[in-house]
Structure 1
């Protein structure tokens, strides 16, 4: 079995080399080198011959397979990028709504391999998997959106995006009635039953834990679960397969292994397809299949081999899945559970007998720490957070979540037979769901429940932590005392790290941060222990503007955000408000009192009222105190347009002035200069992300800024434009851009 593990691990390493390090033109030459090394291994003696042969062959096949897959699957789809024409597509799932209609994963007719995501009208929401749609579309490579390299599409086997042009589309029945789509229909039927049996976040939680659909969760519930370290409960994975296996064993009896295996294999495979076949649930399903099949072939189950074999099969199906965050977290957590958790249990329990409660606590703590050992660095890279409260939250909620899954599934299945029966059974999982959501909310409010890598020193502490415990592991003698000393050193150094974080952000009398939120804007101002945030939004879906702002506020030690100021109601200035309100206490919300046809103003006001935020409308020039600084808010002028009907903000500390104009155009800028007595300014947050219609010559000549910061990200508008950049250069303004420099920090002493 370990021979298989050596080969599969080598294959996985080869795929990672191909995905992260080697350019495509070098894949075959390097594969040839590895294969030659494997052949030369035949000349080596005994054990080394097998090892080098397995490792060399695995690496060579991985690189060759990655090249072949890219050539046969990705290249035909990527070749269509930039073209436009009529395409016939088959839906592979139910469509989901977007801000401008709907999107759905499809198979493109004439291209047998690879998938496409189609963005079209709301009519797609009425279609079923298997139905066809023919429409005029424009194609774009999914691996690179303009200047940004994107991996979340290719990791799912999606290599092309199709954007519908016009409203004309022809829909057909296709293979909608085929058994192939039964798992998707079953998932939709279960979601409908959950909605009928439960309400609000309870229904969303049940739908997520049973089918993997988290779209219905409120921002507050989603934020609380994430901040408490409980998001993994809803990410369908081995935990859920374990719940399902427990239910099957209860039904078949623990000693009827063949019956349990015969029932579990088709059930798990169907459930994997029902939940969307994410890497985490595919990994769990494959591992369970190996465990169940091993006795049938009179072989012992070897966890490392089953884990590596699962990884091999997933990467064989799609080498680009190596870049999947879900896959990396799932396999990292499982590796920690298999390797570290047993060692932690032995270390904590020792040889002395212990009671059931003690063993339960130790087991929960060991499992949580084991799973975190390899996932913490990944969470630091991808999410920028370290959830310290995880051991407590898992201890309090994992048992409850298993009952929610088991009884919730029972309630849903029973409701297909008789709805009142499902309602009765559903009372307990509904109660437990409320408990989990309540606990997550309580734990998320605990000070320092999580730390964020916006603290620049935290990454060094994390490296120190791993070096510290690695040294303790290899240090002799093997006594528990050395781990206790390492734990104390880690805790003390962490306290120092947290203590150093806040002063790093507040170096002067005024500190201004133009946050990197992609194509959007969010400016954080702090002075004298007071905080204000001007705008909070991004048009790029891979940026969480509210989370980014909340991370910075938490690292600064901000208990209350004194002012949240929204210049206007465009999505790229307000998309993160709900997440921000869910995570941070806000005292006052300042808004322009203008109409909004899209309903964004209503949603912002509703969210603010739900969180008890005082709403004030700025209708005249108003001055607010911000610690040692002042905020002057200018109301919208008479110029027509959504962008133009917005607020402008001047932050003043002594003789230093910073102006934020939102998305005002040149006409609105001229009116701002004419109607208000603005001073010469030192810094300007460049209007409308560097649009050619903003940052006029008149504004630059009147205010003479020395520094210009452009908040911009991946976009199709051409921001920042050459016209705007030229005007800034001619005005001798020093330019900074968040898409080039990241978050820009101005510190005024």
Structure 2
């Protein structure tokens, strides 16, 4: 009964959550000076055999995610290993278990050991901060410990249910928090399925292997309905990757936590222990780098609400098949039907995604909240920006069989425009054009490393021209050093393409002031674009920072909004109204997926992949 009530409460709060609902605890959590000082000292004195292995020690010990490189973060996402840097019940179990056992060695009485273990848990939670997974794990641990303490034992699923009810009662915003959902569902999967799966597998394989497979599979199965909303595909090697890294997780976590605690009192110990722990995390980075490169690392699956429904049914029916021997035939039949529907839908969807484009001239890749625009003529290809996710731009290029990019334009160094650059590895790059704006963000170095293989790298500055098949292209902004720009967005490289029948204008993230400046400085070049069917890639994903005068002057036939799920309100009503007022066709990647356009017999037409594609 309590389990059903917890599920109903969660679903109800999720279904009726107001737009923009957030966790009150996470939003209002205060900075505690001693905790901040301890974290800072640990991060300052910690060492690692490589930068990513050092970052992972901090991730496993205190949930620090920001230090990992973009490439390693993406590799871990590919394999569903990101839970390693989300402090959860496993971390709390390690901390509380170690403290409980250590206190026992010193002869501390049982009741006092419980209190000491709980105090250690509270201290660890304060160090980690208000992570959703930590809140869930700590609250559940309190219910479990209370049951054991008073001698009534405990039912883990009931304890989880009470934890969910308690947390959602005091903080309803957690109902829509992805981290909370993943933590709760992973725990539910472990509690319900791990033991029966282990008992079955242990008859056929070594017990250590059975335990690893059971834990990884059950947690992965139950978290997929949420994971599919974050990354619409299925990780093929997740269980394998988790099995390979699991032996080092506990030792690294213990060493890391001791290194954290000693950071302010004895920094040399922090230095040595973090370095030792990083040997273990180096193994994790090696596994992530190697296994994520295996063929078909992620399998296509439908996305959107239908994916959530299908994966929820698969998880529940699989659980019932495993745990209900009396009805196994019925549930097995239902599971077979759901799997068949999922496979058929996904294969049909995948075929459409790979064939929708036809003979295109302009293709707006769906890379989520980011930019990636392809131009093609007579076999020559230009790419303007690469989005944030390397896997998405790599998929777009692979689907369109692009093996060489003759012209690569990176408009500016915002992550949603250039962080996907590693997805171009293996692609030949001819000329690369970059903004001349002085920028010292880490992505500058990442881009430079990838572009080492390019045939030519130069500054894209106003007045620079060239040829791409039947297109003549011109850089309209900024100047060579972008000295006129107030920030990175304002220094976006703006490029136009013109053929006899088609014009394309890509505005990067140029704001209203920059667009007005563009009108003043390049009015003649802009006027030439009006002589053809004109496609405009709308600036800054359709933010409100737009110059109505520019779009009214250009009178484009099509306005492309390259946009994904975001918290900025893109595309804004103002940006959409501008398009409507001039009669432009509005095409949006967040609604239509990748969009391919061509101009044939003076008629501009388009095809879309649809949003049921990855």
Q: TM-score, normalised by structure 2?
A: 0.77
Residue 13, structure 1, aligned to residue 15, structure 2:
no
Quick check: 1:648 aligned with 2:495?
yes
Which residue is equivalent to 2:405? Answer: 562
Asked if residue 684 in structure 1 is aligned to residue 532 in structure 2, the reply is no
Q: 1:202 aligns with which of 47, 53, 63?
A: 53
Correspondent of 1:660 among 491, 506, 511: 506
Contact 2:503 2:534 in 1 (8 A): yes
- Residue 111 of structure 1 corresponds to none
What is the aligned counterpart of 1:333 among 186, 193, 196? 186
Determine if the alignment matches structure 1 residue 595 to structure 2 residue 452. no
Residue 384 of structure 2 is matched in structure 1 by 534
Q: What is aligned with 1:388? A: 236
Is it true that 1:156 corresponds to 2:26 in the alignment?
A: yes
1:29-44 equivalences under 5 Å are none
Are the equivalent residues in 1 in contact too, given 2:56–2:281 (CA < 8 A)?
yes
Indicate how the Cα distance of structure 1 residues 270 and 677 shifts in structure 2: closer, same or farther if over 3 A, else same: closer
1:191 aligns with 2:43: yes
2:277 counterpart of 1:277: no
The SS at the match of 1:448 is: coil
What residue number does 1:504 align with? 353
- Pairing 1:244–2:100 present: no
Kindly report the root-mean-square deviation, in angstroms, between the aligned alpha carbons of the 2 structures: 4.6
1:546 corresponds to? 389
Stretches of structure 2 lacking an aligned partner (at least 5 in a row): 599-604, 606-614
Partner SS, residue 636 of structure 1: strand
Deviation of 1:213 (Å): 1.9
Higher share in strand: 1
Give the aligned length.
Answer: 571
Give 1 or 2 for the bigger CA radius of gyration: 1
Partner residue of 2:473?
633
Task: State which of 586, 596, 610 in structure 2 corresponds to 1:746.
Answer: 596
Structure 1 window deviating more from structure 2 (232-241 vs 688-697): it is 688-697
| Cα displacement string for residues 223-280 of structure 1 (whole angstroms, at most 9, x for unaligned residues) | 2222221110110111211222343355346998556424311101111111113231
Q: Secondary structure at the match of 1:217?
A: coil
The one-character-per-residue Cα deviations of 1:107-161 (angstroms, maximum 9, x if unpaired) are xxxxxxxxxxxxxxxxxxxxxxxxxxxxxxxxxxxx8xxxxx32345473549xx
Q: By how many angstroms is 1:716 displaced?
A: 8.9
Identify unmatched segments of 5+ residues in structure 1: 1-5, 23-142, 144-148, 160-174, 538-544
Tell me if structure 1 keeps the 8 A contact 2:371–2:417.
Answer: no
Residue 289 of structure 2: aligned partner? 441
Q: 1:333 to 1:563 in 2, by over 3 A?
A: farther
Cα deviation digits, residues 642-681 of structure 1 (max 9, x gap): 44773414387x966544344453235523247x788612
* Most deviating of 494-503 and 360-369: 494-503
User: How far 1:623 sits from its partner (Å)?
Assistant: 2.9
Q: 1:326 and 1:233 mapped to 2: Cα distance?
A: 13
Give the deviation of 1:400 after TM superposition. 0.9
2:62, 2:257 within 8 Å by CA — same for their partners in 1?
no
Decide which moves more: 221-230 or 630-639. Answer: 630-639
Question: Cα offset for 1:182?
Answer: 4.0
Is 1:581 matched up with 2:434? no
TM-score (norm 1): 0.64
